Amino acid sequence: MMFITICIPMLSLNKDNLKKVCREYYIRGYSNLKRDDLIEYINRSLMEDEKHEVIKRNEYQIIKKEIDAAFRKVKFQENEKIFSVIVQDKSIKKIETKFKGFNWEIYSQVAINSGNVDDPYRHCDCRIGKNKGFCNHFWIGVIYSLKENYLKASEWTLTALPSDFDQKLSEVKVIKGRKGEKQLVPSSFKKKKLPEPDSKKAKNVTKQWAISSHTDPHKQYTVTLYKNKTWACSCPHWVYRKATCKHIRECQSKQYY
């Protein structure tokens, strides 16, 4: 299915909004269509000037939905997580953000600075991003670029921004991951400190490590090595199965001890 003209921005609207467009322009025969088919049907039914009118009228709502989704990702409120942000080319401020869901991964590349703010480089694996739409993955790149001072918010004039954008931006910070990658997190986020060992076991503990989850970099587990050369971990796999987990294997393979 090809998404052209009106289709790319309309991907951010829900079915009720799309049906409202149909009613406003007296489009018939849409009631039984699925959302994606409805978008294509609207695209075929409207004249070019009507398409631009619809996009202009719904631009703020479309942009706000994707920006809100981006900030929810930063706050760990989405199933899809921000796994890492890597600077690929410092000269043009090009970054690559990796996102991980339950069984999927998405890579998004953004290069935005004061020189190309009118037409920033962007590429994303998601459907909206593939069509050069401003998906929530793109807005994560914008948020990161603003936090790293690649550009100023006042320089962004390509689209309207929600009235609470500056406030939400102030509630975000950039931290450094354990492998040198960057991560966007809420300002209130604090790296987990190693817990104090139980008083009875303290004498038997050789060393402890805080190891980040492989699926959620913002979650950490405590790996413990005891003097009798046995290992333990606070992750569910070890706690409930008492089986060697990947966090323990990571410490063993890298010879942290």
Cβ count near 179 (within 10 Å):
9
Q: Which helix (H) or strand (E) holds 95?
A: strand 94-100
Residue 21 has pLDDT above 80, yes or no: yes
**What DSSP line would sit under 158-192, residue for residue?**
SS---TTHHHHHHTEEEEE-TTS-EEEEETT--PP
Q: Which helix (H) or strand (E) holds 11?
A: none
pLDDT in tens, 61-71: 888 889 999 99
pLDDT in tens, 222-243: 899 888 889 999 988 888 788 8
pLDDT in tens, 110-147: 999 888 888 889 999 988 888 777 889 999 999 999 99
pLDDT in tens, 190-229: 766 555 555 555 568 888 888 888 777 667 888 998 888 8
pTM: 0.64
pLDDT in tens, 59-102: 788 888 899 999 999 998 988 999 889 999 999 999 999 999 88
Which residue ranges make up each domain of the chain? 7-65, 67-186, 202-253
